[in-house]
Structure 1
Amino acid sequence: MVTDAIFMSLKVYGIAIVISVLVAVLIKVMVSATGRMEKTKPLDMPTGTVCPIGPGVPDEDVAALSAAIYAAIGAHHILHIAPTSHGWAAGARASQHSHTPGPTGRGPR
């Protein structure tokens, strides 16, 4: 009975050792694969003229935004930077702050 317990514990330790070795080999393969991917040649910085900007937008802001977008998503072309209309936001804000009962007709609680 005791010898069965000893053999069972040795089997469990053996399985744990085999699984640990397999995981270590898998990690080593993943590290070497990602190391090779990082050694690839970096993309060249695109050069060209800056698109025309609208009145009131400082050149420094356009440069900072362009650099931030390039750092975040890579080499994409920025076609237009301009203020947008906030009409939809004002309508949503007004409907949130209204104190009239909604379309359900439940009234005040």
Structure 2
Amino acid sequence: MVTDAIFKALQVYGISIVISVLVAVLIKVMVSLTGRMEKTKPVDIPIGTVCPIGLGVPDEDVAALSAAIFAAIGPHHILHIAPTSHGWAAGARATQHSSHTPGLTGRGPR
């Protein structure tokens, strides 16, 4: 009876060793494959004579894209661009910290 328990424990231990080795090998293969993929040479961008492709965007392309966007969404436009305030984030952070402090109600500063 005791020998059966010891034999079963050794079986479970052996199976866990085999599974651990298989997972380690799988991780090693995945790391090596992703490392090779990162080292691949970037594709050269061809520069044509009809439609030049380069670092800058031609004015004609900007005009065509703007017309397509206008046709798709209509005459919407941006009214104001400014940095946003982070008051809501500070209030949420204060509420979270105070909820973890004993003796407080869990509400942030008001």
TM-score (norm 1): 0.48
